[in-house]
Amino acid sequence: MRILDQFFISADQMAPFLVGSYNSGLVILSLLVAIFSSGMALQTAHIARMADLRIHRQIAICTGAIALGGGIWTMHFIGMLAFELCTSVHYDPAITMLSVLPSVGASWVALQILSQARVQRSHLIVGGILVGLGIGTMHYSGMAAMRMAPVLRYEPITFFLSIVLAVVLATLALWIRFRLHRTRLTLLQRVVISGIVLGLAISGMHYTGMAAARFIGQTTPPDDMIIFNSTFASMVLSTFTITVTVLVTAANGLLRYRQLFLKMEESESHNRAIVDTAIDGIITINSHGTILDFNHSAERLFGWKAGEVLGRNVNMLMPEPDRSRHDSYLSNYLRTNDPKIIGVGRDVTGLRKDGSLLPMRLAVGKVRQPGDPLFVGFVTDMSRYKALTESLRQSAEKAEQAAQAKTAFLANMSHEIRTPLNAIIGFSDLMLNDQINAQQNKHLAIINQSAHSLLALLNDILDTTKLERGSVELEQVDFSLIELCNQVVASLRLAADAKNLEFRLNHAPELHQFYKGDPMRIQQVLNNLIGNAIKFTQSGAVHVDVNPEPGRNTVSIRVTDTGIGMTPEQLRHVFTPFTQADVSISRRFGGTGLGVSIARQLVDLMGGTLKVESTLGVGSVFEVRIPLEPGKEPSLSPDDQPVPRLPPLRILVADDISLNQELLTLALEQHGHSVTVADNGHKVLELLSKEDFDVALLDVHMPEMDGLETARRWREQERREARLPLPLIALTASVMESDRHAAQEAGMNGFATKPLDLPSLLQEIAMVMGLPPTGPLEHSVEPQESSLIDWELGLSLWGSQVRLRRALLSFLSDLHTRYPLDEIKQASPNWEIVLGSLHGIRGTAGNLGLPQVSALSAELEEKIRRGQTRQMRRRIEQLQEMFNRIAHELGHNGPPTTYSDAQQVVVHPPDVALNNLHILHSSVLLNELDEPALQVVCQYLESTGQTDTLNDLNKTIDVFDFAQASLILSKLIKDLNASLAKDPPRHE
């Protein structure tokens, strides 16, 4: 307690206290010194933080600590001199000098913290405490140096409050200094704010400590010693401190400048090394185009040495016309500041020293600086790139030529193979319909089936080519995946049962009933995979598992078999076209090796995956993952329009192969048509000029003059002689899309492929002649009650209903060009044009069996001649409405027709037909054809009146479209099963 009594005032001390006063000017001076010293010290801390070397950092911190510590010490003694007490006061020199050490130490701690890039909160708190205690220690040690008659004691609460205030304000000053780095304030603004807070911390602690001081005793007269003027002493002390602080700051600034200078030199050396070693040429010019810098790569690219080009205009590196225009480019940019080429890479041509051209890519950047700007150009040599581009272009051209050659080869191969197949399939089809013995029927069926197998192989090759070219398009329709899988499994069950295989379909209950996708392609994939599994499995099982993948619109289909399996080497080539496990497999099981390859390409086209796992002698697992969106129940599609039974027509057939001529003649004459043949285009033109035909079938490939040239010449002759257009149909064994376009451009109306597909050919004839697609036709017609066409009159004039319909359609198609009536819509119509059109319509309509049209045209013609043109527009609209009715009648109604087919067919019981349907379906799924089963099915369909389905089935099988044939057969099996379930057959 006695120690504290020597320092703090006690309650029993009753001696009077001396009261002093402050010189306000010196108080303000002390505040300014504290703030100035703090600001300079913070600037020194910034310099220390930016220093690259540790020694430079420590020098800055130490000198700053001396400046700040001296400032604290100076502020304290200016504050002491500002305090006026009515007694003599002296200071102990030793204690006074030693009192500066705590302030320097506190300053060093503060600057150490402030010079760090990042500071934790604990560092700020500890640093604030140490700085606050250092300031307090300096203050109270300075007070202890006072020598005077009164006794100095301190009021405890205010004493401790001064220490707390020093710690809090010092911590706040350090925190603010770092916090201001997150703002957008400038460095000067941050230094000033932080300096004010730290200066107030120093001054606040001093004057709070002075408020805690108590001077106990009596006033004493001054000594005889010399009394210095306190204001003068304060000014001298302040000046000295400020000078030292400024010198310290200046020294640190010079040190920092030297650091920056050395760093700049280092950076320049680094940049120079980069520029000199850069692959691209780098050229620097001023605003006048003068070259200021030219690196080594630029020397290599242009062939000039830097010393030869520096100081010269950069246009020396440019060929004409850029050489003459370059200066205007620069001046235009400097005038308008329009950056057309600044910051943009572009391909240009440079000029080398030897006069050769340099293809290059140029990018120009602008360097902003005081005064005129600089421009830096980066030049990339594009010679190798141009050469590579040219090489790639040539390679692409060669690849395109190869693709065209491949397409041409396939088209030619298709034509050459289909031409003999046309005769084989066509004549065997005709003979199978004749009355022949069983042995002959069997031999013909083998010939026919073999030809169809060859055609299927050809179609597979063409399908593979289409898939490779990406020309196969998928449709997106709603369908039942479960029903589709059931159909596939049901159609292949006979083949599996024949081998006593366990054949099972499993599907998860979570599977949606309907999906949206391409059911025909999915069925094609499943037929190939499941068909292969059955083919290569002699005993055991084939399982098909269909499951949806959770959380994804994807369906997984796994086909697992216990067949022969594959080795790892065979597995690597399983998806290669025309490849099977080995030659023995091909000999043993047959096939082309295209099925799995086509399945893989179709799955890829649908965005799915097809993976396979296999072990030799154990079996294989094929897993298909197909993305399928959930769908809805599909609506029933209308049945395809039936093939019309045409009236007897006069048909010109042009083909250079006698077998094809004979086949077409026999097939068409069996349907009641009259056929004339020609073997080249010249004979065709000769026959068309002499005789009248209803339609002409022209083979595209004929000697002397092919079908395309024949069509062009005949169309030209029709235009010259004002003939009605004759329907022309192209006949070709080529099936490429380019062949169709070529036929259309030559003037052909239709397109039919070989081998002969008679239903399709008849459909094409009906289409090009404008015959209605429904119902048979007859020759005896009666005009309908509401008909504008007098069919009896027309037939008496034209002799043939086909000719009459063709003439009517031609009249309607040429109506707007030959007999324009749109002139009536003008405000002041040219009546001469209208009169000429009506006159032409009047005569033509009379010759076409259109008496009402002819009569109205004659009436309007007479009124115009008399000048009675009022309400003419409405009457002509009535005439145009007649044309619309005639067009509608030709397209939808037509004359009543009759046709009878006396051909006798064999009637098979439904259960026999169903059994043959299953046999045929199984063979079709294996890309094979059971001819006897097909014959039974066709006879059954004909006997039950399902001619539309029969035509569709024959069409798909004739072109070996087994996928579509499978769908037709599946529907027939389903319908016949349902019929038998309701009415079981009864055999007597």
Token pair listed for 819: 């007999």
Biggest alpha carbon distance in the chain? Answer: 163
CA–CA dist 771, 783 (Å, integer): 17
Positions in the chain short of pLDDT 50: 1, 224-229, 232, 578, 581-592, 636-643, 773-785, 892-905, 987-988
CA–CA dist 306, 299 (Å, integer): 7
Model confidence pLDDT, tens digit, residues 924-942:
776 666 667 777 888 788 7
Residue 338: Cβ within 10 Å count: 9
CA–chain centroid gap for 139, Å, is: 76
pLDDT for residue 314: 86
pLDDT for residue 343: 64
CA–CA dist 227, 88 (Å, integer): 9
CA–CA dist 201, 223 (Å, integer): 36
pLDDT for residue 625: 94
Q: Which CATH architecture has domain 791-893?
A: Up-down Bundle (1.20)
Q: Is 720 left (phi over 0), alpha (psi -120 to 50) or beta?
A: alpha
CATH number given to 388-466: 1.10.287.130
Token pair listed for 104: 């320097």
Sign of the C-alpha dihedral, residues 178, 184, 186, 191? negative
The conformation of residue 290, written as its DSSP 8-state character, comes to B
- Measured CA to CA in angstroms, residue 38 lies from 121, 184, 191, 202, 660 at distances of 22, 22, 9, 9, 112
**Element housing 525 (H / E):** helix 519-535
| Domain residue spans of the chain | 2-220+229-257, 278-381, 388-466, 475-630, 791-893, 910-982
- Measured CA to CA in angstroms, residue 932 lies from 267, 456, 913, 956 at distances of 93, 19, 11, 17
CATH number given to 475-630: 3.30.565.10
Whether 820 contacts 843, CB under 8 Å: no
Token pair listed for 237: 């002390």
pLDDT for residue 229: 47
Q: Which CATH class is domain 278-381?
A: alpha beta
CA–CA dist 976, 970 (Å, integer): 10
CA–CA dist 525, 503 (Å, integer): 18
Whether 562 contacts 492, CB under 8 Å: no
Model confidence pLDDT, tens digit, residues 107-144:
787 777 767 767 677 777 877 788 788 878 878 887 77
Whether 106 contacts 171, CB under 8 Å: no
Amino acid at 110: A
Predicted model pTM: 0.33
CA–CA dist 25, 636 (Å, integer): 106
Buried b (16+ CB within 10 A) or exposed e, 633-664: eeeeeeeeebbbbbbebbbbbbbbbeebbbbb
CA–CA dist 586, 601 (Å, integer): 22
Burial class from Cβ neighbours inside 10 Å (0-12, 13-18, 19+) for residue 361 reads: middle
pLDDT for residue 959: 52
Query: Phi, psi at residue 557, to the nearest 5°?
Result: -125, 115
Amino acid at 519: P
